[in-house]
Amino acid sequence: MTTLDEICHWIDGRPLSGGRPLEITNPATGRAIRRLGLADGDQVRLAIDAAQAAFPAWRDTPPAKRAQVMFRFKALLERDADEICRLISEEHGKVLEDALGELKRGIENVEFACGVPELLKGEYSHNAGPRIDTWSNHQPLGIVAGITPFNFPAMVPLWMAPLAIACGNAFILKPSEQVPSAATKMARLLEEAGLPRGIFQVVHGDREAVEALLDAPQVKALSFVGSTPVAKAIYRRGADHGKRVQALGGAKNHAVVLPDADLDNAASTLIGAAFGSAGERCMAISVAVCVGEETADALVARLAEQAGALKIGPGTEKGLDMGALVNAAHRDKVAGYIAEGEAAGAELALDGRRHPLVGESAGYFMGATLFDRVTPEMRIYRDEIFGPVLCVVRAASFEEAIELINAHQYGNGTCVFTRDGEAARRFSDAIEVGMVGINVPLPVPVAYHSFGGWKESLFGDLHAYGPDGVRFYTRRKTVSQRWPARDSRERAQLNFPSH
């Protein structure tokens, strides 16, 4: 019997084992590769106590010195990129090239955090009133936490932790229990970069650990990325406890294809946007809205040909396009949606259940699936499937396409393919979605902008990373200062002060 390596929590600068046991499975093989202990409330409290002890000194550390830790952390992430990508692929199932792309986008957020001395500069007004100077600054909240999903084991934690830490906070990460290794690796690299112990900690766990973080009064803010039902519950419970919460939920991202679009380019980029990472992305395009029957016929033919040629297999093998889904239950859920769409009358142009690996491999594979003539009342249109399933909806007009998207419960990302500047401008103005692409199917903002959707895709006032991240992880303090002349004697003023 093979002994499985243990993934430990990282508390107060050292690994800590223990907790309810869980086996970590490689999705490409279906075999257990590591074991994990799920934290209970006592272990979460250990992390909180360590953070409380470490925070005052880190808060008082000059931002330039905090930035130096981030510079070193960035270099270490780049040094160990191959190892981190291997861990991601082994536990999530995505191909190595996609894991590297994820890590690079995460590193961009570390680069943004390196600029924290500039980001934390406040405002100053000389003589805001008679001999009164006023200024504001951004101060850290204290202990903050992040709860991150299985689909981006490196990138989403890097959306949160580097900026929170650079702003002077202590950060507790609760990663998905399905993909724990990248988080622990980052904890070790931050220690190597010179981060004081207790400022970044990793608590592996499930709902019990999440609720302990939500209920702890010492935790002042919490960031979450996951499904909409869980995002709602976390937002409500955190708000009830007086916390600042940003909770990013689900998505159903539409791409509108207009008759004047470059269909060859649109088809190629849609294949990547729909089936990259086996569709397990909150920014994946899962609906293509074709304006006009001719546009739809031509696009579906191109999509079916290219999607059918995708190379699928274990993510750690090179030269592949798509790996396995994260676990057996999720694969079966995706297969159930395909069966339901077929029963509802959608035209199944490509059936991923028929891919040879689905039946032959012990891994959790699903081939690319393409539906045509999907209608808004079907569940495959309404629900976030989170798998390699692309639905084609046919619209009679551009206005109908816009109305269709605006009527959907989610508003995370969208795009339009067109050569018409007027149509592009109309789309970007009228669409009720938080992130919009013009001939860009995955409009994920770069690190110095902020990421977030509208409607049921985001709960909270501030988006993730970028300028909103600085606002989320700090609170503004405004100081008004006046020095009366030594020889002056002033009368009491009972009226409210004004200019």
- Identify whether 470 is part of a domain: yes
**Using an 8 Å Cβ cutoff, are 234 and 209 in contact?**
no
Residues 6+ apart with CB under 8 A from 164: 144, 146, 171, 469, 473
Q: What is the pLDDT of residue 379?
A: 98
Q: What is the pLDDT of residue 491?
A: 80
Q: What is the pLDDT of residue 499?
A: 67
Q: Do residue 36 and residue 146 come from a single domain?
A: yes
- Identify whether 402 is part of a domain: yes
Q: What is the pLDDT of residue 246?
A: 97
What is the pLDDT averaged over residues 182-195? 98
Q: How many domains does the chain have?
A: 2
Whole-number percent of the chain with pLDDT over 90: 94
pLDDT, tens digit, for every residue of 468-497? Answer: 999 999 999 999 999 888 777 778 878 887
Domain CATH number, residue 399: 3.40.309.10
DSSP state of 312: B
pLDDT at 50 over 60: yes
Q: Do residue 83 and residue 10 come from a single domain?
A: yes
pLDDT, tens digit, for every residue of 245-279? Answer: 999 999 999 999 999 999 999 999 999 999 999 99
- Identify whether 494 is part of a domain: no
Q: What is the pLDDT of residue 495?
A: 82
Residue 194, by phi and psi: left (phi above 0), alpha (psi -120 to 50) or beta?
left
If you average pLDDT over every residue of the chain, what do you get? 96
Using CA of residue 196, residue 89, residue 303, residue 274, what is the dihedral sign? negative
- Identify whether 154 is part of a domain: yes
pLDDT, tens digit, for every residue of 360-391? Answer: 999 999 999 999 999 999 999 999 999 999 99
Q: Do residue 43 and residue 17 come from a single domain?
A: yes
Q: How far is CA 187 from CA 182, 195, 268, 279, in A?
A: 9, 9, 38, 28
pLDDT at 142 over 60: yes
Closest CA to 471 of 152, 228, 139: 139
- Identify whether 410 is part of a domain: yes
Q: How far is CA 399 from CA 73, 256, 290, in A?
A: 48, 11, 12
Q: What is the pLDDT of residue 14?
A: 96
Q: What is the pLDDT of residue 266?
A: 97
Q: Do residue 156 and residue 186 come from a single domain?
A: yes
Q: Using CA atoms, how far apart are residues 106 and 109, in angstroms rounded to an integer?
A: 5
Q: Do residue 432 and residue 461 come from a single domain?
A: no
pLDDT, tens digit, for every residue of 296-330? Answer: 999 999 999 999 999 999 999 989 999 999 999 99
- Identify whether 260 is part of a domain: yes
Q: Using CA atoms, how far apart are residues 167 and 161, in angstroms rounded to an integer?
A: 10
State which residues form the domain around 50.
5-249+457-479
Q: Using CA atoms, how far apart are residues 88 and 363, in angstroms rounded to an integer?
A: 16
Pairing of strands 31-38, 123-129: unpaired
The residues assigned a catalytic role are: 282
Which two structure tokens, joined as six digits, stand for 22?
Answer: 């869980």
What is the pLDDT averaged over residues 57-85? 98
- Identify whether 143 is part of a domain: yes
Q: Do residue 315 and residue 167 come from a single domain?
A: no
If pLDDT is split at 50, 70 and 90, which confidence band does 2 have?
low
Q: What is the pLDDT of residue 354?
A: 96
Which two structure tokens, joined as six digits, stand for 467?
Answer: 């300028």
Domain CATH number, residue 219: 3.40.605.10
pLDDT at 498 over 80: no
Q: Do residue 258 and residue 244 come from a single domain?
A: no
- Identify whether 299 is part of a domain: yes
- Laid out side by side, the sheet with 5-7 consists of 5-7, 31-38, 20-26
Q: Do residue 278 and residue 175 come from a single domain?
A: no
Q: Do residue 241 and residue 267 come from a single domain?
A: no
pLDDT, tens digit, for every residue of 203-216? Answer: 999 999 999 999 99
If pLDDT is split at 50, 70 and 90, which confidence band does 439 have?
very high
Q: Do residue 245 and residue 258 come from a single domain?
A: no
Q: What is the pLDDT of residue 489?
A: 77
Packed helices 81-92 and 181-192: angle between N→C axes, nearest 10 degrees: 160
Q: Do residue 101 and residue 186 come from a single domain?
A: yes
Q: Do residue 278 and residue 176 come from a single domain?
A: no
pLDDT at 287 over 60: yes
